[in-house]
Structure 1
Amino acid sequence: MTVRRVGRVPAILVAISAVVAMAWVVPPPQLRILPLGDSITGAPGCWRAELWHRLRERGHTAIDFVGTRTGGSCGTTYDRDHAGYSGFRATVIARENLLPSWLATARPDVVLIHLGTNDLWHGVGTEAVLAAYGKLVEQIRAHNPVTRILLAQIIPMAPRGCASCGQRVVALNRAIPGWAAARSTARSPIVVVDQWTGFDPAADTNDGVHPVDSGFRKIAARWFPAVAAALATPVTSPR
């Protein structure tokens, strides 16, 4: 009888140890990513599908795209949440204080911002767009002071009837890196993502503004390294 008990003790201890170990295994928190923008982000915004698949194919599975809207079938299954509003301007989002409620719903760890196209299209200048960016960044940090912000130098545009739009994009994009560097912090870095270089509005859009598949692939490829780097940083936002 004694021998049987001695023989069974190690097996019992192993089983108990395994249960205890399993109890302490905590899955990594999902990184909550908010794609924020206008129709380039929202309708259909298929760069979001391209980016989501690219991240997961490279092992970045602890991700959750978040937002106040869901849309964009893009011929594939993916996380379709976003905050891309067709026709919206950065200046209007800032002036009307639309972002705080979106943030309260999405609770992002990372915000991808591609905004300013509609502002420039309607003649709003660089300084006004940068001022709007500033207010949006303040609101993002007020919601979560350690949010990582990825800010796009926006894609080129050449819409019919707006000969000056292309140069307005150049002027804004030229100003963004210095503006971002002055406002980036260790706790809430602003990473500039160059979406302009290599994008051809004649080949990569259907109207000089809105991307087709080739454009969406280019946008996703530009976002990917910055998002992957953000994934390497532990999530520290409140849950």
Structure 2
Amino acid sequence: MSRSAPHVRPAQALLLALLLVLGAVAALGGARTASASAAPSAAAAHPVRVMPLGDSITGSPGCWRALLWNQLQDAGYTNIDFVGTLPPQGCAVPYDGDNEGHGGILATNIANQNQLPAWLAATSPDVVLMHLGTNDVWSNIAPAQILAAFTKMVGQMRDSNPAIQVLVAQILPMDPSNCAECAQRVVAFDAQIPAWAASVSTAQSPVTVVDQWTGFDDATDTVDGVHPNDAGIAKMAARWYPPLAALLSQDGGTAGGTSAGTSAGTSAGTSVGTSSGTSVGTSAGTSAGTSTGTSVGTSAGTSAGSTAGSTGGTGSPACTAALTVSSSWQGGYQAAVTVTAQQAITSWTVTLTGVVVSQGWSGTFVTNPDGSVTVHSEPWNGTLAAGASTTFGFIGGSTAPTPPLTLTCTTP
């Protein structure tokens, strides 16, 4: 996206510092444990080809890609290849910078001008990371038109690779000085993405929604109300990592143990902190990133097991909860809890014992007098069909949980 302020490259020193933090995360055991089980146990026959697709937020220079690449490498996901027809841009650190981030581009133009097939033919991606729609929203194009363009592009992706997996972002908040309406337009657009993703997702070619909106502040995380600064690129990388790691675990071995309670096949909703592991079935619909979000879809099947750095939950017959720590640092960690319905439910409550929550999303968090934390479902993610899953996340205000915290899931 390149409409107003000139692109500002993230400060090299801060980017290097962020990567050092990622290294520290690995040393602390959040992203990579000391055990051999932390890295994929069996390399795929060929690298998993990942296409970052978007506008200038992805490509100019899009240094969230550098952070994400190095975080994946540190976690043991080395059998990957970032692909695109555009070359790397400077981010002060080594990384695989190939991408498909075209500054100023509109999703509707990509679709209307059939630009995507040539890019796909040149790169043959297995996974697409798609953060698109910012320029369309800025141009006051209706969400329905943007999502129709998304649908056409997903069809073209499947023509290229029937088993392609798509991670589509609920785009970053936007509040440029010359577009007073843009902020609310983003909210309206993001709110429709989960239902759209559920409608196009298939078991063979899942479409997973990644919530890049929640927790991102255009005032402090961008250079101009649109393009992410150093803090913003770190948040973007942190949001892409868990769902991408989950896909890579399926394609290239089990990373950090097998998945504890991850929803399977297709997840169309909030993907923050999704556990990495094997899965079955389909799950559609969690967060739209705001209170205006919607929840749609059903799921068939769940998965079970244990994850290094995660704690399996317990629950009533109606629902279960499982926690996965996606990253940690000195003094804190990020975790996700997957709630899975064992029968059709209209709301859920998860109680966490042994944790201090400094920030949470996709649930209503209440700290109880005894120190436990109760998380209640939101209106848009409480109704789940039997076997369906949804995910909420939080930042823990201490080191990664040791001893492991306990979880219980109940339905009021």
Q: More relative contact order in 1 or in 2 (CA 8 Å, sep 6+)?
A: 1
Residue 374 of structure 2 corresponds to: none
Q: CA deviation at 1:234?
A: 2.6
Structure 1 runs (4+) deviating above 3 angstroms are 25-28
Q: CA deviation at 1:161?
A: 1.5
Give the alignment partner of residue 209 of structure 2, picking from 192, 195, 206: 192
The residue correspondences of 1:29-68 to structure 2 (distance < 5 A) are: 29-68=46-85
CA distance in 2, matches of 1:123, 1:155: 16
Give, as a single letter, the amino acid of the residue that structure 2 aligns with 1:120. Answer: V
**Which structure is higher in helix share?**
1
Listed one character per residue, the Cα deviations across residues 84-138 of structure 1 (whole Å, up to 9, x for unaligned) are 0000000000000000000001100000000000001111111110011000000
Residue 97 of structure 1 corresponds to: 114
CA distance in 2, matches of 1:113, 1:26: 25
Residue 172 of structure 1 corresponds to: 189
Identical-residue share of aligned pairs (%):
55
Give the alignment partner of residue 226 of structure 1, picking from 240, 243, 251: 243
Q: CA deviation at 1:29?
A: 1.7
- Structure of greater Rg: 1
Q: CA deviation at 1:26?
A: 8.2
The residue correspondences of 1:138-217 to structure 2 (distance < 5 A) are: 138-217=155-234
Residue 109 of structure 1 corresponds to: 126
What secondary structure, in the 3-state scheme, does the structure 1 residue paired with 2:109 have?
helix
Alpha carbons 1:157, 1:166 under 8 Å: kept = yes
**Which structure is higher in strand share?**
2
Stretches of structure 1 that go unaligned for 5 or more consecutive residues are: 1-24
Number of aligned residue pairs: 211
Listed one character per residue, the Cα deviations across residues 185-228 of structure 1 (whole Å, up to 9, x for unaligned) are 01000000000001111111111001111100000000000110
CA distance in 1, matches of 2:82, 2:250: 17
What secondary structure, in the 3-state scheme, does the structure 2 residue paired with 1:103 have?
helix
Q: CA deviation at 1:28?
A: 3.5
When the two structures are superposed, what TM-score results if normalisation uses the length of structure 1? 0.86
Give, as a single letter, the amino acid of the residue that structure 1 aligns with 2:71. Answer: R
CA distance in 2, matches of 1:187, 1:129: 24
Give, as a single letter, the amino acid of the residue that structure 1 aligns with 2:247. Answer: A
CA distance in 2, matches of 1:75, 1:111: 24
When the two structures are superposed, what TM-score results if normalisation uses the length of structure 2? 0.50
Give the alignment partner of residue 77 of structure 1, picking from 79, 94, 119: 94
Alpha carbons 1:43, 1:71 under 8 Å: kept = no
RMSD: 1.3
Alpha carbons 2:88, 2:96 under 8 Å: kept = no
CA distance in 1, matches of 2:208, 2:132: 15
Stretches of structure 2 that go unaligned for 5 or more consecutive residues are: 1-41, 253-412
